Amino acid sequence: MDDSGSESHLSEKEFYIPNYILVPDCAAESVSHIPECPLLVFINSKSGGQLGGDLLITYRGLLNKNQVFDLGKEAPDKVLRKIYVNFEKLKHSGDSFAAEIQKRLRIIVAGGDGTAGWLLGVISDLKLSHSPPVATVPLGTGNNLPFAFGWGKKNPGTDPQSVRSFLDQVMKAKEMKIDSWHIIMRMRAPKEGCCDPIAPLELPHSLHAFHRVSQTDSLNMEGCHTFRGGFWNYFSMGMDAQVSYAFHSERKLHPEKFKNQLMNQGTYAKLVGTQGWFVASLRHPSSRNIAQLAKVKIMKRPGQWEDLEVPRSIRSIICLNLPSFSGGLNPWGTPNTKKKRDRDLTAPYVDDGLLEVVGFRDAWHGLVLLAPKGHGTRLAQAHRIRFEFHKGAADSTYMRIDGEPWKQPLPVNDDTVVVEISHLGQVNMLATPGCKSKSFSDPSSPSHHYEDDSNEEDDSTVDWEERRKFGAADTFRIPDDVDITQLS
């Protein structure tokens, strides 16, 4: 990059990383200026129609092209491993500049929630002493992650001035830790049917086959499959996941019709109506109610499972980590003082080790979220939650992880399908001032903390060493043969 020139060039120097840090074995460069906010930029060039590709061109024009990566061509796990190995090599040789770059490093990821979750999983897996904080550029349909941290939910401008404005926000943004969640699903492999969940057919990219299970697992038997993965925003089941599944199925069949963000959102709204969720009591059998489908257990303290009573009218259940769902809505809201006192409910902190569990009866109930202080039916806050499905009236249901839906077959005999969600760890995000997400560690937030006693007996059915990795490991990595255009 030319050191001379306009005020904008001087500003862009604060984000610039020289080649010898990005490209191993590249000739060392003489540098005198340490950038205030060195960046790595990952862009899903297939997101947002043409916007992803345009954004890639703009970033590469403003920064070193080698610090801007097209996720359609380079997987983030390989990129980050290469760069961090080079960091260690340079620091070992006494390079103080490289050490300072690593210390100040920040990351931008541009794409949908699926793309952002992919990158966060990779960073989580690297187990760095200080993971680089991440800012998210909204290029998807829902954009819940960007909205939760103040980056908006509308597609951004791709011209140089818009990108410079975003870079300025990234430099000024604050770091905020967020919880990550592990999900495990255990089931017998169905012998027939159109939704055989053998990876990577119809399952989300973040759920993968996992064969090493504990010998104490009662489901560890011939013919049983175990899948696991992770999420950052939410797991949901029922009504909302069914609508999402219909949307994604239609988009796979006719991708040319889904190039515009506003049109996508309009199509989504139409599906809610055509599937009958505004008249759910008339159009959908009681077998679609969550209480009919599953037995739900929660854990508020280590080792203490308790049954969760789900009202029979609830047709959708959401386990929420961030205060942003379906394009920025907050299903949990903020409980008033009476709720806090009588039911021990708190505001939804993103780093307190708790999931907010919310239920909805029908589409009309969902519209309540559009009103000031509107919220769903608050069911619980939990450190862990388990769904057990036994033989019943329904042969399948719909589930969704961070925007990726699938049709889940349910037992047809005496077998059991188990979905269990537990707290995994934390990563660092970048947040703008006044964003929706609130941190427990923020002194201005009211106090409510979950004490996780790591010495407590843990009855997990998978050993910790296997469970703790879900990012760059093969159990989370986007497979090479996956069409990235299908990733939100």
pLDDT in tens, the chain (488 residues): 444 433 444 478 999 999 999 998 888 788 889 999 999 999 998 887 788 999 999 999 999 999 999 998 998 999 999 999 999 999 999 999 999 999 999 999 999 888 898 899 889 888 888 899 999 999 887 788 999 999 988 888 899 999 999 999 999 999 999 999 989 888 776 555 444 444 334 677 777 766 544 555 554 555 677 888 888 999 999 888 888 888 777 777 766 666 666 666 666 666 655 655 555 555 556 666 888 889 999 998 888 899 999 998 888 899 999 988 876 677 887 777 776 666 778 888 999 999 999 998 876 656 655 556 767 889 999 999 999 998 876 888 899 888 888 888 888 777 788 999 999 889 999 999 989 899 987 755 544 443 333 333 333 333 433 434 444 344 344 444 444 444 44
- What pLDDT is stored for residue 1 in this prediction? 44
- What pLDDT is stored for residue 27 in this prediction? 83
Is-contact 330 323, C-beta < 8 A? yes
Please count the other Cβ atoms lying within 10 Å of the Cβ belonging to residue 445.
Answer: 15
- What pLDDT is stored for residue 383 in this prediction? 93
Torsion sign, CA atoms 378, 382, 384, 390 = negative
Selected from 3.30.70, 3.90.550, 3.30.1360, 3.40.50, the CATH number assigned to the domain covering 12-172 reads 3.40.50
- What pLDDT is stored for residue 391 in this prediction? 82
The CA distance from 462 to 468, in Å, is: 10
Please count the other Cβ atoms lying within 10 Å of the Cβ belonging to residue 456.
Answer: 12
| Amino acid residing at 78 | K
- What pLDDT is stored for residue 319 in this prediction? 95
- What pLDDT is stored for residue 262 in this prediction? 66
Tell me how far CA of residue 226 lies from CA of 136, 176, 188, 479, in angstroms: 31, 33, 9, 18
Tell me how far CA of residue 1 lies from CA of 17, 60, 83, 319, 363, in angstroms: 10, 11, 20, 46, 53
- What pLDDT is stored for residue 327 in this prediction? 67
- What pLDDT is stored for residue 292 in this prediction? 86
pLDDT tens for residues 385-398?
999 998 876 888 89
- DSSP string computed for 403-425: TEEEEEE--SSS--EEEEEEEEE
Burial (CB count <10 Å: 0-12, 13-18, 19+), residue 94: exposed
Selected from 2.60.40, 3.30.379, 2.30.30, 2.60.200, the CATH number assigned to the domain covering 180-426 reads 2.60.200
- What pLDDT is stored for residue 291 in this prediction? 85
Of 410, 427, 374, the residue nearest 106 (C-alpha): 427
Pairing between β-strand 134-138 and β-strand 106-111 as defined by DSSP bridges: parallel
Burial (CB count <10 Å: 0-12, 13-18, 19+), residue 67: buried
Q: Domain coordinates of the chain in residue numbers?
A: 12-172, 180-426
